[in-house]
Amino acid sequence: MQNDIGNQFASTTIVAPITSRIPAKEHPFLVRLPDQLLPKPSAVVCALLRVVSRGRLSGRPLAVCDAATMVRVDEALRHSLALS
């Protein structure tokens, strides 16, 4: 979730967790991922942002979202952080 400049210079980064426990009810801070993206149906939880050390990351992405999914993630982040 962190911007590219922050990722270039900081020892930490901001991430949104992905869960395979998707509630039946829709939530404005939850973005379902395309079914083929991960082995299980999953969603990005934009209400649970975390700062993590870049050393904890594997260096390769778990998945790469398409532009339409990232637009939905941006909207969910704006909702979660009240940035309308």
**Beta bridge partners of residue 51, listed in sequence order:** 14
**Cβ–Cβ < 8 Å for 50, 83:** no
Domains of the chain: 4-80 (2.30.30.110)
Taking the whole predicted model, whether its pTM rises above 0.85 is answered as: yes
pLDDT of 2 above 90: no
The string of pLDDT tens digits covering residues 4-44 is 888 888 999 999 999 999 999 999 999 999 999 999 999 99
Give the pLDDT confidence score for residue 49 in this predicted structure: 96
CA distances from 80 to 2, 14, 84 (A): 15, 14, 10
DSSP-derived 3-state class of residue 6: helix
